[in-house]
Amino acid sequence: MSSQSGLDMISNCDSARENDIFARDPNFKEGIANFTVSVGREAILSCIVQDLGAYKVAWLRVDTQTILTIANHVITKNHRIGVSHSDHRTWFLHIREVRESDRGWYMCQINTDPMKSQTGFLDVVVCEFPIEIN
């Protein structure tokens, strides 16, 4: 007969359940929405991850294979790049003062083995206003 009380067994079951949550592989809840922004404005791309646990989210520029951010840290020297998150589920890549050269594919990556990723396209438009001549 076990010397463990009923409360201890419930507590152990709760701990096991919590460990199961952290043992699950993270997944993307939805794709990265393509984003269109005007030159000079801020672009914010979002990546929603379930069950991240101890894994890390990174943002990369696909065409240049540049790592922009890892977790809360900005890796690139580009001062216009930032990262934020909401409840460790939604990760945001911020690109301030957008330039035409920022147009392209961006990747949200989770450092699982094998790595999981998804991409979204940032389109940059130049607003040309007609010049009025009086």
Q: What are 61's strand-pairing partners? A: 66, 106
Residue 46: CB atoms within 10 A of its CB come to 17
Reported as a single tens digit per residue, the pLDDT across 82-93 is 999 998 899 999
Q: What is the pLDDT averaged over residues 47-64?
A: 95
Give residue 1's identity as a one-letter amino acid code: M
Question: What is the arrangement of strands in the sheet containing 66-70, beginning at the earlier edge strand?
Answer: 35-38, 116-125, 104-110, 57-61, 66-70, 73-74
pTM of whole model > 0.85? no
| Torsion, Cα of 109, 18, 30, 105 (10° steps) | -10
Q: What is the pLDDT of residues 93-132, one digit of tens each?
A: 999 999 999 999 999 999 999 999 999 999 999 987 655 6
**What confidence tens digit (pLDDT) does each residue in 27-47 have?**
999 889 999 999 999 999 999
Percent of the residues in the chain that have a pLDDT greater than 90, as a whole number:
71
The Cα–Cα gap between 64 and 84 comes to 22
Q: What's residue 1's pLDDT?
A: 47
Largest CA distance in the chain: 98
CA distances from 26 to 39, 45, 56, 99, 122 (A): 34, 19, 10, 33, 25
